[in-house]
Homo-oligomer: A and B are copies of this chain.
Amino acid sequence: MAGNADLDRLFSPRSVAIVGASTNVDSPGHDYVSSLRIFGFDGDVFPINRSADTVAGFKAYATLDDVPGNVDLVISCIPASGVLELIEQATGKARFLHLFTGRFSETGDEDAAALERQIEERAKAAGIRILGPNGLGVYHSAGGIAFRPDLPRQAGGVAFLSQSGNNAVEVVIRGTARGLRFGKVANYGNGMDITPGELLRYLADDETTTVVGAYVEGVAGGREFFEGLRAAAARKPVIIHKAGRTAAGAQSASSHTAALAGETEVWSAAIRQAGALEARSQEQLVDLMVGASLLRGAFGSRVAVVGGGGGRSVQSADACEENGLDLVELPGGIREQVRERAPMLADWIGNPVDQSILAGSGLSSNRLLELMLGADAYEVAIANVGEEWFFGRPDAADRLRHACERLVSIVSGATKPVAVVLGATESTEAWQRELIDDLRMDFVEEGIAVYPTVERAAWVLGRFAGQR
């Protein structure tokens, strides 16, 4: 088999064999098979299991040799000790081998590390490309493949690479709830053969990929990684979460995926020079990916801010200024429009717009947002919902819903990026938590970027404005 340069068949295989497929529903060997069914995989599925007739409804095969023809992707859930033999069986038959199998170099054990090197050599000689070991592999909803059956079915153009498996799951679940629609996701684990650098180079050219996020603890081939990063960042927004920044983190990273973590400042500078954005936590990573995906073109620093009371206005102003955003004064034209409705407010109101002083004026912060989005003075906006104020009013749920519907319609119709601030669901009242969750989903389903605090919204807008 020649010409494995292209990773298309890794993310969109036409056939998948799962070695170590299991009928135990509480095992990865079952998850990989059932995921193919649940995600509607339309190629051939070959669970390999000596004793079962079927696994997750698919006909099972005793050995890989019994599978007819070639297979694009073999997923290995067997113990490390069986992998060398598996490579022999896969030679001439499989294009990609994903080793979910772990307990190699990441254990710190010499023999385990030696076995990993041996596997690498044999696979190379056999022309089989390896993803992993010690990684969950591929999640690509549009390709019908996932490493867990419960992952979101929603699909889109956000690619994500992760050295860590649980981190990949967390980013996918949390990111989808924030409006990210994922495309090609790979948890490459120890990155023995297919490296994050190669994956980045692939995603750079991949036309279905619009935004790239990556979580790395350390990389063996720094030059290749940064070449891939530069290539990707030249074509689309790329966010890198580099962990293992500290001595303790690096030590933990080493036991985790056997990679040496580099030095923080060197990494930061290299990420910046490559034209990518750096996240220092999973939260920042998701926040920036939401910005890249849903606030496209948010490269302006002249920001309009509305909503919330006086305290929120002051806090918004601090957050904007500390992130390099420019709170341009309300244009005279808008003041005159305010004067017509509420003369007392015309010289008092400012940017941020303090919602609490609008009471009784017939003007709402939604109306002010509309006016400001229409003014040349502003390039981007932040809209604070200020939900706690509503909670104290009669018909709180209806009024909050109404205000949010109006906000959805304004933001959806705007030509400028708007970040909405709607709090985390921190309330002792279940109805308030459920309402906020529902409203967040309403925004998200309209493709609107929502941040739980104004500080996080301003931080993201500031990072993008800094890229202009």
Contact = CB atoms under 8 A, between A and B. Distances in A.
Interface of A: 25-26, 31, 103, 106-109, 148-150, 152, 154, 162-170, 173-174, 176-178, 215, 217, 243-249, 251-253, 255-257, 280-283, 308-322, 327, 344, 347-348, 350, 352, 354, 356, 386, 388-389, 391-394, 423-428, 430, 433-434, 437, 441, 452-453, 455
A318 B281 CA distance: 9
A167 B256 contact: no
Nearest to A148: B392
13 contacts: A26-B394, A164-B314, A167-B309, A167-B310, A167-B311, A169-B391, A170-B423, A173-B388, A215-B311, A249-B317, A249-B321, A424-B452, A425-B425
Contacts of A152: 428
A411 B311 CA distance: 36
Given A178-B426, A246-B317, A252-B352, 15 more contacts: A26-B394, A150-B392, A154-B428, A166-B308, A166-B309, A166-B310, A166-B311, A166-B386, A166-B389, A167-B312, A174-B388, A174-B424, A243-B314, A246-B322, A424-B425
Contacts of A25: 394
A393 B356 CA distance: 47
Given A310-B165, A327-B248, A427-B174, A354 B256 contact: yes
Contacts of A311: 162-168, 170, 215, 217, 243, 256
A430 to B, nearest CB: 7
A347 B255 CA distance: 10
Nearest to A147: B392
B248 A320 contact: yes
A286 B374 CA distance: 36
Given A310-B164, A388-B169, A428 B354 contact: no
A350 B255 contact: yes
Contacts of A217: 311, 314
Ranked nearest first, the 4 interchain pairs of A and B with the lowest CB-CB distance are A164-B311, A166-B309, A167-B311, A256-B310
Given A108-B347, A174-B423, A282-B453, A437 B441 contact: no
Nearest to A440: B426
